[in-house]
Chains A and B, each alone.
Chain A
Amino acid sequence: MILETNKPIGEINMTEASIIEVRDISKRFPGVVALNNVSLQFFPGEIHAVVGENGAGKSTLMKIMAGAYFPDSGEIILQGNKVSFSHPKEAQVKGISIIYQEFNLLPERTVAQNIFMGREPGKLGVLDVRELNKNAAQVLKELGAEQMISPSALCSTLSVAEQQIVEIAKAISFDSKVLIMDEPTASLTSVEVKMLTDLVAKLKARGMAILFISHRLIEVFDIADKISVLKDGELVGTELTEEVTPEKVVYMMVGREFDQYYPPLGSKDDLGEVVLRIKDGSNDLLKDINLELRKGEILGVAGLQGSGRTELAQAIFGAVPFKSGSMELYGKTKMVKSPLSAIKLGMGFVTEDRKAEGLLPRQPIRDNILLAVRSLQPLFGFILNDGVSRSRKMVPTLATQVDLRTDTYDKETQFLSGGNQQKVVLSKWLASDAGIFIFDEPTRGIDVEAKAGIHDMIRELTKQGTAVLMISSELPEIIGMSDRILVMADYRVAGELPAQSTEQEIMLMATGHANGNNTGMTESVGDE
């Protein structure tokens, strides 16, 4: 089936010359091949969507085209000429603009100042403020946004969608021929998405080539003329939107063999009572969260970037708590208001970003392991008798339990490998005798072998009677590990799927294609 879709590039649209083309681009990062011999052509007046799972290489490709990364091999051809960019500025001057997912605007400066940063009008270093505002108004008018955004407004006062427009205005003020957008709709409301797609259509009519990365297939099918699918750094194929169905695109995105080992799923015997129940949990982002977690099971949480997976974990653990709704822990109604109360109630949180949230990289391994235990001890009682305390003796036992191999526990944690660092985080929570574990991307950035070790360990935890909530953006990991799968979309629970559901079922639910358009609150199980 993949072969059918994999038309050689160039067969589509032979009539016109491409404005920009990448040929045999490859890029490696330590331990990963981000892109492998990818060739693509982009044409003026065309909206070309690049889709793929997390880590498929989409962003890397865009960054290479915009001059932010340099390819290991391959060429970029701009209007028939081979080019190479050593700095994003060079690409920009040649008419290639990129809008990153995280905005590059200065919040405390005005719209006009942001658009013309580094290119302010004026003579002898004196700023021509009137000309600056006039030019900005002109650019905004071209986008039809002159009513909405004032050139002299501070960017911090604008909504996300308005900031997005300012970014686009900045891009077209360079007289760009190619506009690259990374997840332009990720944090917009549906009205704003409509506004943005109208705007993009306008730019298309002006003959710009527009490339955008998106996770949201609905939008891709709404506005793109062409869809290219990347998977594991390789191009699966390019399709005309009108000739392809969402199901087929999803299949192209996920179609792969299971080649990784996962421990056997939990059995009915392991399953115990409900230890965590959330009813109608909401906060500033999350809406109407309902879930149950049982002793002895792994509940996998899947969803696209920005679907609220991590926010869910943070809410349960009290880092960014729920503001309304109710929470039941071990049958008692308790609202977790802070990480400390979560730890006291027996929760452990292995965070997504080890470096920022999980570890103190410059502290010794020993202190990292004891961090959570110590937080439960009286503030001054502990350190004084630390030298002979029981807790200190726990360290080697815990390290053995997680199979952490190191010559000394006094080494700074930053010198351990990613896998071993993750084991330190894990043993930190084992030490605190947690009964509920939340894993957020437990194996991100870890090599395959260490991954299998961590998967075994997570399963072992449930055998010992703990409950595990595991968030992962890697679908094989979700499917390989979960006893039940919760799918998040738009900061809500989109639905629940049984163990061993397919990647396609999960993706359809996560992109809002299952259960109609995912407009209402969906409690139902996927309709496959």
Chain B
Amino acid sequence: MTTATGSASWFRRTTRAIHIPPVYFFLIVIFLVSGLLDQILSDGQILTNPAIMLNIIVRSVALGIVAVGQTMVIIGASIDLSVAYTISITAVMSSYIMQGDTANVPIAIPAVLGIGLAIGLANGLIITKLKVNPFIATLGMSLIIKGIINATFSNYTGSVPRSFEFFGYGTIGPVPVSIIIMLFVYLVGWYLLARTKFGAHLYGVGGNAEVARLSGVRTDRVLIGAHVICSLTAVLSGFFLVSLMRSGAPWVGPNGLYDLESIATTVIGGTALSGGKGGVWGTLAGVLIFGVLDTTFNQLGVNPYLKMVLRGAIIVLAVASYTIRSKKEAA
């Protein structure tokens, strides 16, 4: 008993000292259990084949990038439900503008980034200036984008040039470009949150907006900034998806459940839905947990709906473990 609590506190102290979110422990357990199941029931590739491991990460890239933005708005005690359709509009608009021609890429990228910027700005302004609940504001935005793209495009529209596929399929040495980009996004996200005034103020706004305001923080600007960043990460995810699929379609975002799954992975990673607490590295673990599950279920050839059941159970368990732990710490 004493040794158990002793080692537990040792574990907590160590993870705190080097800032490893405890969810990584969970990720390792899931990875090992998946590997073991794969070893017993299938061909045992998960633990032995590095290509599979890379594949897990590549599968996670689209979700992983947008989850960084989602983490930021959630730390600010906001939320963004419009990311899925922001991904969709990015995919269709970029393949529509590019039309398979490399010459159009320099036009398409800034144009689509501009759309993302406008969406984020609109979300942030609606939430801070019109005081609309973020859930409703971004849900409304999501429906607006959905309406616009569904009215304009029915299915695959245009295509991206070969050169643009580098994002989705290229490698630098043995490492896929997409993984490098995703890790870069995580580094930027971490830097913004941990090493800039914007980050410090965002935690303040999410933790207690009134305290932040009384300390002289421009709370509205900070939150608008977080929403713009969030929409831009959705755009980046959209670029990745369209380069993978070679052509964009309106259903790309919602079919991938990027809105709800980015929220779920953020929360699994230990970011409090009430704001003011968390970070991108936890979210990365959440994303990888989903990636490992996906790959395992594919390897084992299990009914995909069972995968959803397991994902659901993991979300609930993770959040329950956080609330139980924080209660224990409070006592």
Which residues of A are interface residues toward B (Cβ below 8 A)? Answer: 88-89, 104-109, 113, 117-120, 122, 125-127, 129, 156
Contacts and interface: CB of A to CB of B under 8 A. Distances in A.
A120 B203 contact: no
B207 A118 contact: no
Contacts of B207: 106-109
Contacts of A125: 196-198
Interface of B: 194-201, 203-204, 207-208, 210-212, 214-217, 272, 276-277, 329
A134 B277 CA distance: 23
A125 B204 CA distance: 15
Nearest to B213: A89
Contacts of A88: 214
A106 B276 contact: yes
B276 A129 contact: no
B211 A117 contact: yes
Given A106-B208, A119-B216, A126-B196, 11 more contacts: A106-B212, A107-B207, A108-B276, A113-B203, A117-B204, A117-B212, A117-B215, A118-B215, A118-B217, A125-B197, A127-B194
A109 B204 contact: yes
A119 B194 CA distance: 16
Given A117-B217, A118-B217, A106 B198 contact: no
A108 B216 contact: no
A108 B204 CA distance: 9
Given A89-B216, A119-B216, A104 B200 contact: no
B272 to A, nearest CB: 8
18 contacts: A104-B208, A104-B210, A105-B211, A106-B203, A108-B203, A108-B277, A109-B203, A113-B200, A117-B211, A117-B217, A118-B212, A118-B215, A118-B217, A120-B200, A122-B197, A126-B195, A126-B197, A156-B329
A120 B195 contact: no
B18 to A, nearest CB: 14
Contacts of B197: 120, 122, 125-127
A127 B196 contact: yes
B212 to A, nearest CB: 7
A119 B272 CA distance: 25
A88 B216 CA distance: 9
Contacts of B203: 106, 108-109, 113
Contact of B200 (A89, A105, A127, A156): A127
A129 B195 contact: yes
Contacts of A129: 195
Contacts of B211: 104-106, 117
A88 B211 CA distance: 11
A104 B212 CA distance: 9
Contacts of A126: 195-197
Contacts of A117: 200-201, 204, 211-212, 215, 217
Contacts of B276: 106, 108-109
A262 B195 CA distance: 63
Given A105-B211, A109-B207, A118 B201 contact: yes
A457 to B, nearest CB: 39
Contacts of A105: 211
A106 B200 contact: no
A117 B202 CA distance: 11
Contacts of B272: 108
Central interface residue in B199, B201, B214, by most chain A CB within 10 Å: B214
Contacts of B199: 127
Contacts of A104: 208, 210-211, 214
B72 to A, nearest CB: 15
Given A125-B198, A127-B195, A106 B204 contact: yes
Given A106-B276, A113-B200, A125-B196, A118 B216 contact: yes
Contacts of B216: 89, 118-119
Nearest to A93: B216
Nearest to B201: A118
A229 B286 CA distance: 58
Contacts of B214: 88-89, 104
A129 B194 CA distance: 9
Nearest to A106: B207
Contacts of B204: 106, 109, 117-118
A85 B248 CA distance: 56
Contacts of B217: 117-118
Contacts of B201: 117-118
B281 to A, nearest CB: 15
A107 B203 CA distance: 11
A320 to B, nearest CB: 13
Nearest to A121: B197
A463 B259 CA distance: 62
A107 B200 CA distance: 13
A104 B272 CA distance: 19
A104 B216 CA distance: 13
Nearest to B198: A125
Nearest to A129: B195
A192 B216 CA distance: 30
Contacts of A118: 201, 204, 212, 215-217
B97 to A, nearest CB: 33
Nearest to A122: B197
Nearest to B278: A108
B324 to A, nearest CB: 16
Contacts of B215: 89, 117-119
A323 to B, nearest CB: 13
Contacts of B208: 104, 106
